[in-house]
Structure 1
Amino acid sequence: MRTTRRAFTKAAGAMIALATTGIPSLAAPARAGTPSAAPAVRRGTYLIKNGMVITVDRNQGVLPRADILIRNGVIERIGRGLSVPGAQLIDATDMIVMPGFVNSHYHMWSAIGRSFTARNGGFSYYPAKSATSGLYTPEDFYNSVLLACAELVNGGTTTVHNWSHNTRSPAHADAELRAHQHSLLRARYSYGHIDKLPVDEVNRYHDLARVRREWFGADSPFDGLVHLGLNLRGPQQSTDAVFHEEMKFVKASGLPVAIHAPQESPNNVDAVDYERRGYLGPDFMIAHYIPATTEDLAAMARTKTPLSFATHSELRLSSTGDARAALFAMRAAGLTISLSSDATSIAPPDMFEMMRFTWNLGVPWAGTPSERASAISVQEVIEMATINGAVAMGIGDITGSITEGKRADIILVRAKDLNIWPIGNIETAIVQSGTTSNVDTVLVDGRLIKRHGRLLAYDVNRIVRGAQRSSARILDSAGEILKF
């Protein structure tokens, strides 16, 4: 097994602006220090009219035609023929309305490295990551994470788990968090370790108390959008003794935690043992875990431990595992399976593509343990891309479905575009035909972030320039190893 987990390359420079949304221009790239005040973006009262609504709420299902009232960031009412004086009308005629996507595992610090290629090994994710992870400055982290956020919003993702597994310094952590502040996305920031930390060295999280106080304390600039977590190297990148020592810290911190598990043999993550130790539970996320045994999966199911399945990555980075068989085994065990992109150098953070790929992968094969199973449905992959990710991040009561009382994280998809119209089944249309280019409108926490196909909350040109600046400097610093 290649001993490290994915996360390589992300970048983007720039800031948010736009007087029309009330977001001030941000003149300086990220730097360490006390966070500045959050950009002032007003939540409005919106009435979405006449949409084809995929609620992802099993009590409501799919509503062929419905209206949604949003007030102060909350989904206040869902019904037909709603009329609200003073509400801003959002005409959803010939549009599919659904909850924003949730990406449960994304190494955002390396977004700008999506096409970095090592001279020896071609594509090979790990050599390119190894050659560059130490070259990122705090400004590069800011540029990368903001680029990632803008791309996510553009494609309809409203919540992301930033699995930061190269937390190089306090300034780097501040840079990522400032990008989240400016992005206006819902997120978990999972504070981690420096890439290539020696396997026998315990990560003491020396800066965590400050981060918790300055970014997540009483004066947090996030307005409830971002919460804090931890990620551990686990047995993939540290010794068992180090992993268990770090878990003592995690349990004392009270924070949710995430670890990588193998994508191929050998299986060095023992979920049965972790259950005995009291590690497993809804606040312990595991990514990958392709070689998990039936007993491992049963332990996860008993404890409601969520699983993040990065479909592209599971296939690309496994030479001994069968991702399709693993997916069926996870499903048969009753796990909460969410979809994720891992790193941009492995897969794009495109939830439409992930849903479609997973749906096509989910076919039982004769002569295998899955042969008596039913095929994975479009409804299931939509849940994996929305509510299951929210549950995995501990915010299933806040987002992930269009339900009265939840926060308004909602996207509108143009259904009359050439690649979608005409529609027979609304859910099938989204999974089989939808693409990021069809996303017309995105609301996060009741704020309009994208409208009529245009990003309102980002200065895209500045973001692209910042990303290019960081990428060019890193490539130049890496030298011959990335000259392919």
Structure 2
Amino acid sequence: MSASALTMAAYRRRSRSRMRVRTGSTSFMSIPSCSSPGTEVATIRAGSVTLRGLPNTRHRTTFNAAPRPAAVRLGQRWPGPFAAARRRQPHLPLPCWAERLIRARTGPDAHRFCPARKSQPHVVAQSASRVWLQSHMLGVTARKGRCAPTPIGSVRIPQTERFSNMSRRVLIRGGYIIPTAPADNDIPDGDILIEDGVIVAVGPSITEEADEVIDATGRVVIPGLIDTHRHLWETVLRNSLPDGDLMDYFQSTLTRGQFFRPDDVYNSNLLGAAGALNAGITTVLDWSHISNTPDHSDAAVAALKAAKIRSVYAHSVGVSPLQDWLGVDSENRHPDDIRRIVEQYRTTDDNLLTLAAGVRGPEFSSYDAAWDDIRLARELGLRITMHTGCSALGARNTVESLNEQGLLGSDITYIHTNTSSDGALKLIADTGGTISSSPAVESVMGHGAPPFARFDAVGLSPSLSVDAEVGVAGDLFGQMRSAYEQSRAASHTILRDGGQATLHTTRDVLGWATIEGARALGLDHVTGSLEVGKQADIVILDLGGLESGPVNSPIGALILNATAAHVTDVFVAGHGVKRDRTLMDIDTASVVQAAENTVHHLNSSASAAGLGA
């Protein structure tokens, strides 16, 4: 009998073979005992169930029975814990119907499917056969307490960014809340109430009822971190230039861009977005100069959507061939495919994906091409993000040339500006422009000293960004520390010489990584602070432990000691993308394996082209 026939046979037997699992007097789940051919219930204990499948079982998922009631609404689609399997094998057709384990009313933890850990005895083991994964784990609809089959299409580009649990009320209780805006008024023992993905109350002792209560006692609660400039397609090349400078980056990293296939872009973007979420970054601008073909661009967008991260996709040029697109002699204009991108993916603030234009600017194209690219972006109604003041290229006087053309504006974010003149920084401030500073990579690769003191002199507050993981770490905690240390070092030098300077505080630096990042992306009305009416982009950290406790100063521990390992929970628009230190919607093992496969392809292609591994 074929695999699809076995699937349909199991589906037909479902109504005859259901069982009810009870914990004490509470019935919490309805399970079809024929979830896969040959699967049977082996153990029921302590509110958990263990299923053993076929001998070739490789994937395991976890089911937790939570004590608090919460709702999966009737007619609500649950996306499926193994949706990543579909993304890994998009070329395979789906069976007609999908069968899943689900119930109509559950505790919030009951739908947490994640890789099994040794510390979790409550494990559901399932067959990992290709047909079974696709037919059984890609989605169902909850209807009157039973598991109803739902036809599922490709999940690579979800139909909507509205999460399936948006009707729930979640209360984060008892944490040390650092709102960042509108005022720096910390709430030492505060609560946050979330409804429909939006913050509806912030303060001490919120008494309203909620479907889920999260105990944040002893933990620090901050807005989601915001990375305003990162080349996500380079994530698979992490740490490949540990001692490289800017020229090495052009000759090694960008040259390898010609070997990226669309699937490689998808794999790298998904890896980078997953790593960002794991480190508490809820919003990232993907500066995507890998638009070698329209398929490359679509793959980048698809990965951002699959990760469920709030993102700004900044469409840019391709790097194949590199010399045609990036260089002061390049007369090529921005790829016209950006018009299709805008038409196809244009979104509103209610969605997680927004669009921008990654304009090369006069340091990476001819002046005429740079001016035309900016005009195109404005014609399409897109914000502009542009590299400026990069090492010796700052002599191109990007800002001054744009000013002569009347092209400066508040819709431009200027990246780096290390070697931009004081006059250029004053022009940026006067025209309402924003800054994206990448202090770690700028110091390592030789862009120039991060100009924090010069920002202060003209009234600019920077946002922070990782830039390229080829030479620095991909979390914003390291960027915040680098910014804090370098800004104060520069200010101390000025003060010692008798000048005037600002000694920035740890609180200032957190603002750069949150609310200033939101302003740079034009999203400060959506995210960047813990305020009523904003989307619930929230990070919870446990800063106790050997390397960061005792916590004498929460803001101090956050900036001076925190790492991704301290991030316990991450919410994007109220959806828990990371809970109890585990990413919920991403099959991390498969994401890493796909990235390894991409690296193998890139190294093989580079070797064949005589570039070396």
| TM-score, normalisation: structure 1 | 0.89
- 1:200: Cα distance to partner? 2.8
Alignment equivalent of 2:463, drawn from 314, 317, 338: 338
Task: Say yes or no: does 1:182 pair with 2:306.
Answer: yes
Q: Given that residues 340 and 349 in structure 1 are in contact (C-alpha distance below 8 angstroms), is that contact kept between their aligned partners in structure 2?
A: no
Alignment equivalent of 2:344, drawn from 214, 218, 231: 214
Letter in 2 for 1:429: A
- 1:123: Cα distance to partner? 9.9
The residue correspondences of 1:191-210 to structure 2 (distance < 5 A) are 191-195=315-319, 196=322, 197-198=324-325, 199-210=329-340
Compared with structure 1, are the counterparts of its residues 128 and 38 closer, same or farther at alpha carbon in structure 2 (3 Å cutoff)?
A: same
Structure 1: runs of 5 or more not aligned? 1-16
Task: Say yes or no: does 1:37 pair with 2:93.
Answer: no
- 1:237: Cα distance to partner? 1.4
Letter in 1 for 2:506: V
User: For residues 173 and 88 of structure 2, what CA distance do their matches in structure 1 show?
Assistant: 39
Q: Given that residues 38 and 182 in structure 1 are in contact (C-alpha distance below 8 angstroms), is that contact kept between their aligned partners in structure 2?
A: no
Moved more, 271-280 or 189-198: 271-280
SS in 2 for 1:419: coil
User: For residues 114 and 86 of structure 1, what CA distance do their matches in structure 2 show?
Assistant: 42
Task: Say yes or no: does 1:264 pair with 2:320.
Answer: no
User: For residues 498 and 586 of structure 2, what CA distance do their matches in structure 1 show?
Assistant: 45
* Structure 2 equivalent of residue 71 of structure 1: 195
Deviations 1:283-322 (A, max 9, x none): 1111011112121111111111001000112112227x33
- 1:252: Cα distance to partner? 1.6
Structure with the greater relative contact order (CA < 8 A, sep ≥ 6): 1 or 2?
1
User: For residues 128 and 370 of structure 1, what CA distance do their matches in structure 2 show?
Assistant: 44
- 1:35: Cα distance to partner? 4.4
User: For residues 426 and 151 of structure 1, what CA distance do their matches in structure 2 show?
Assistant: 24
- 1:361: Cα distance to partner? 1.0
- 1:29: Cα distance to partner? 4.7
* Structure 2 equivalent of residue 293 of structure 1: 421
User: For residues 294 and 382 of structure 1, what CA distance do their matches in structure 2 show?
Assistant: 25
SS in 1 for 2:528: coil
The residue correspondences of 1:72-471 to structure 2 (distance < 5 A) are 72-116=196-240, 124-195=248-319, 196=322, 197-198=324-325, 199-216=329-346, 224-265=351-392, 266-318=394-446, 321-323=448-450, 326-363=451-488, 364-366=491-493, 371-471=499-599
Compared with structure 1, are the counterparts of its residues 223 and 473 closer, same or farther at alpha carbon in structure 2 (3 Å cutoff)?
A: farther
User: For residues 102 and 146 of structure 1, what CA distance do their matches in structure 2 show?
Assistant: 17
| Identical amino acids, percent of aligned pairs | 26
- 1:264: Cα distance to partner? 1.8
Letter in 1 for 2:309: L
User: For residues 540 and 184 of structure 2, what CA distance do their matches in structure 1 show?
Assistant: 18
Structure 2: runs of 5 or more not aligned? 1-60, 65-71, 73-77, 92-153
User: For residues 180 and 86 of structure 1, what CA distance do their matches in structure 2 show?
Assistant: 30
- 1:235: Cα distance to partner? 1.4
- 1:183: Cα distance to partner? 1.0
Count of residues in correspondence between the two structures: 462
Alignment equivalent of 1:54, drawn from 166, 178, 197: 178
SS in 2 for 1:411: strand
- 1:120: Cα distance to partner? 10
Letter in 1 for 2:513: A
Q: Given that residues 189 and 226 in structure 1 are in contact (C-alpha distance below 8 angstroms), is that contact kept between their aligned partners in structure 2?
A: yes
Deviations 1:138-184 (A, max 9, x none): 00000000001110010000000001112111101110111111111
Letter in 1 for 2:481: R
User: For residues 365 and 580 of structure 2, what CA distance do their matches in structure 1 show?
Assistant: 47
Compared with structure 1, are the counterparts of its residues 57 and 466 closer, same or farther at alpha carbon in structure 2 (3 Å cutoff)?
A: same
Letter in 2 for 1:210: R
RMSD: 2.7
SS in 2 for 1:267: helix
SS in 2 for 1:28: helix
Deviations 1:354-382 (A, max 9, x none): 11111111222436889431322101110
Moved more, 81-90 or 452-461: 81-90
Q: Given that residues 47 and 69 in structure 1 are in contact (C-alpha distance below 8 angstroms), is that contact kept between their aligned partners in structure 2?
A: yes
Query: Which of the two has higher C-alpha Rg?
Result: 2
